[in-house]
Amino acid sequence: MKYHVQVFVSLKPSILDPQGRTVERALSHLGHENVSGVRVGKLVEMVMEGERAAVEAQARALAETVLSNPVMESFRVEVRELAGA
Amino acid sequence: MKYHVQVFVSLKPSILDPQGRTVERALSHLGHENVSGVRVGKLVEMVMEGERAAVEAQARALAETVLSNPVMESFRVEVRELAGA
């Protein structure tokens, strides 16, 4: 079975996010005063083949060891069955 | 009312994704042969204040004009009420 896996990687709240700050300032200059707390992270998408439980475990392991830096970043994994695969 | 807004920005499927390719090759070298189609995109999170419909419209407009490049990227917006705000 094939699965569409999404790994959302964001900086931990305690870590300064210069990219997010820059976007926030730009939005403020553009008049978007009602926007705050802008954080910019990564979204890694991939197709993984295998049995669901094994794919979920493997995706979590990849997120933890390859796709994110556990010191500064936190991650969330979503696994969806790929239709027609 | 305050809303937690997430904007997921990904390269359009027709666009070559060198970053995704690099990650895919690295995973293959690490023995993860069941992984394919790796794509790396952006996840922009922010807090927006206002009335729901207005926030949704504003978030879409921001995603289209500031947070993504419509020529190469597609985006998806998720708006969730911020608990206790």
pLDDT at residue A85, as a whole number: 60
Q: What distance in Å separates the CA atoms of residue B77 and residue B57, rounded to the nearest whole number?
A: 10
- Report CB contact under 8 Å: B34, A41: no
State the complex-level ipTM. Answer: 0.85
Measured between beta carbons, the chain B residues lying within 8 angstroms of A10 are 43, 45
Region B2-81: CATH code: 3.30.1280.10
- Domain ranges in chain B are 2-81
Superfamily of A2-14+40-81 according to CATH: Phosphoribosylformylglycinamidine synthase subunit PurS (3.30.1280.10)
Report the residue from A34, A43, A58 with minimal CB separation from B48: A34
| pLDDT tens profile B20-70 | 999 999 999 999 999 999 999 999 999 999 999 999 999 999 999 999 999
Q: What distance in Å separates the CA atoms of residue A70 and residue B5, rounded to the nearest whole number?
A: 24
Main-chain dihedrals φ then ψ at residue B65, nearest 5 degrees: -100, -30
Q: Is the pLDDT of residue A41 over 80?
A: yes
